[in-house]
Structures are given as structure tokens and as C-alpha cells.
Amino acid sequence: MEPIFEALPGLEVPVDGIGRSLARMWAEEAAGGRPAPEAEDAKATQVNFVLHLGFNTDAADAARQFATVLRFAQRYPCRVVGLCPRDSDAGGPPLRAKVYGECFLGRTRADKRCVEFVMLSYDRRARAQLEDQVSICLSTDLPLYYWAHRFADSGRLADYRFLLGQAKRVILDSAGSPADAMRYPWPNPAAIRDLAYCRLLSVRQSVGQFLAAYAPAALTEGLSGVEVRHGPAWRAEGGVLAKWVGERLAACGWAAGAGEVEVRERLAAGLDLSLRFRYAQELKAFSWSGDLAAGQALFRADFGLGRTELTSGVALLAPEVALSEAMFF
């Protein structure tokens, strides 16, 4: 059985006939009166996108990530290749293929964007063919973006150097990757992006804008440490927040050795993430706490100019928005 491959929509086609099958699929869509590209430039013209579903992905998760890429494609039309590895003892041919296409109509009939998916299921016997097959499916004149989702082992993923080395961005998610994923010596470290970091964009902006109202010296003078707490479901986000805060404080002049950023899981009921600065002076204080489910956050601060308390909204980026943030920013 191939639960991941079977969970994804599309029509199974011969591997050596993917191009012909895509053309026939669009012709049948048009003949049925459904939206279809009327010209080549209505298809995927902006980016190549490879979604690699690792062995830790189950059928329901695969369907969710497919839906995320489909929503992303409504804004950024792309040619998508989905890779679905399977165990060699699963049986069947070493390489199988599916094709899927969908067009999205905008405010006018002229505003039409179409996306093409090619899903490839493969086992170890097909590894030697995989690079050529993926290359055939992609547009040679478009940039490549590679999303490796829930892979089980960094070393095994590193075997896909033809994707890791050519991709403009390599997208990982520290919430579902091996513990060493963000420290692993990838072929192009500058291309790595963490979806957990991108999901926290509005949190980083909110905290950053609040603290920007104070002079850097006011934030760092007497600062003995920083504490980040997170709920059980937000371990990756807690780690990302701690790393970001440490880097921002260092940019404000907080010297190495002056204190440390601690990450702890225990958190008060009703909260998902919190941040607190510890000061040697009892009169100085800063804390931020967020309830992601309720969409509410609370700032408390006193940097010697009087106590401030402020409520604000808080939310993580939607998956497709975090994906675009990781790819383009």
C-alpha cells in the first residue's frame, strides 16, 4: 500500500507519458466547460515547486500539505512536483505518477491562473531515475523552490543534492524535522528557511515594534537573562522566539556572557507563548504573553518611565502565507 500517494488527488498515468497526459487533462477540462488554460502563459509561469513528503508523513498530513500548496498556487501559479517515497517492500513498480491540474478564476474571466501537479511515488530502486524524472517535469527557465516535509533523517535527505543544491530556497519546518535539521551542514546553508520562524512573523513584528519605542540601552542595561516559555504544542516556535530575541538583544548591545536566553515548556493555563526579561534592578521589567487560540496578547513593561500595560492581537501566519514568506523574503 502507498497511503501517501493514494491520498493525493489526480489521475494515475504512465511515467513516460506525463507531458502528454497533462495536455490531455487540460483538453478534457476545456471540453467539459471547466476552467482550463487557453494559452501557455496561463499555466505555471512563476516558480518550480517540489514538495517532498517524508516517511513521517501520513495520508491525512499529505492531503493537508497538498491543500496548502494549492492555496499558495492561487496567488503564485507554479508547476509542482510532489515526491512520495515508499518502502521497497511495498510492492508495485519502482516509479508511479499522477497528474492533477486546477485553474482559478479571479474577478474577471481574463484573470485566470492555472497550476499543474505531478506526483511521483518511488522506492529505492527508482532513486537513480528520480533526478532525471524531476528535471523533465520542471520548467527549465523558472527558479526552483524545495520543501522537505517531515523527513525522518537529515543524512538521508542530504542524498538529494540535486534538489538541495539547485533550489533558491530549501524549506524545512523545525516543528516536524529531526532535531539536527537546522544545524545540519546542508550544501547551501544560506538557502535554508524554517517555517516555524515564518509562522511567527506577526509575533516578531509586534514584540519588535513595542520594544523599538525604547532606547537600546534601556533594554539591555542590567539585563541578567531572558526566559521564553511555550506550551507543549509550540516547542519549535518557542525555540525560534528565543533565538530571535537573543539575536535582537545582541544587536542592541547585550554582550555575550551578560546573561542567557532560557527556553522552558511550563506555562500558565490559557497561554501558548511567553517572553520575560529579567533585570538586576527591581524597578525594570518587561514581559509578553500570547494566547494563540484566543488571538490575544498582553505586554507589561517598565523601563524607568512608568508602568505600561497593553493588549494586542496575536496570530500565526496561515500555512500558505508562511510558505510564501519562507520562499520570497
pLDDT in tens, 273-317: 999 999 998 889 999 999 999 999 999 999 988 999 999 999 999
Residues shown for the chain: 329
What is the SS3 assignment for 47?
strand
Place of cell 513521517: 56
H helix or E strand, kind and range, residue 191:
none
Instruction: Read off the pLDDT of residues 11-27 as tens digits, 9 standing for 90 and up.
Output: 999 999 999 999 899 88
Say if residue 246 is exposed, middle or buried (CB neighbours under 10 Å; 0-12, 13-18, 19+).
Answer: middle
Q: Which of 321, 329, 319 is nearest to 64 (CA)?
A: 319
Residue 160: which of 137, 131, 135 has the closest Cα?
A: 131
**Whether the predicted pLDDT of 256 surpasses 80:** no
Instruction: Supply the pLDDT for residue 90.
Output: 66
In whole angstroms, give the CA distance from residue 274 to residue 298.
9
Helices (H), the chain: 3-7, 18-31, 59-75, 127-137, 154-157, 161-164, 195-199, 201-211, 216-220, 235-251, 319-328
User: Is a pLDDT exceeding 50 seen at residue 44?
Assistant: no
Q: What is the DSSP letter of 16?
A: G
Backbone angles phi, psi at 277, to 5 degrees: -95, 135
Average pLDDT along the chain: 91
Task: Count the neighbouring beta carbons within 10 Å of the beta carbon of residue 139.
Answer: 16
User: What is the number of H-type helices and E-type strands within the chain?
Assistant: 11, 14
Question: pTM (2 decimals)?
Answer: 0.93
Question: Percent of the chain having pLDDT more than 90?
Answer: 75
Report the C-alpha gap between 49 and 79 in whole angstroms: 6
* Region 113-140 average pLDDT: 91
Cross-sheet strand order for the sheet of 260-264: 260-264, 223-230, 273-279, 285-291, 296-302, 308-313
Domain boundaries, the chain: 3-195+321-328, 201-313
The pLDDT tens digits for 210-245 are 999 999 999 999 999 999 999 999 999 999 999 999
Calculate mean pLDDT across residues 130-149.
Answer: 94
* 44 contacts 115 by C-beta, under 8 angstroms: yes
pLDDT of 89 above 80: no
**Which pLDDT band, with edges at 50, 70 and 90, does 37 fall under?**
confident
What is the rounded CA–CA span in Å between residue 62 and residue 69?
Answer: 11
* Rounded distance between C-alpha atoms, residue 6 and residue 32, angstroms: 25
**Torsions phi, psi of 302, nearest 5?**
-155, 105
Cα–Cα separations (whole angstroms), residue 326 to 139, 169, 191, 264: 21, 8, 10, 26
What's residue 245's pLDDT? 97
Is 175 in contact with 154 (CB distance < 8 Å)?
Answer: no
Place of cell 467539459: 32
Least confident of 90-94, 142-146, 217-221, 320-324: 90-94
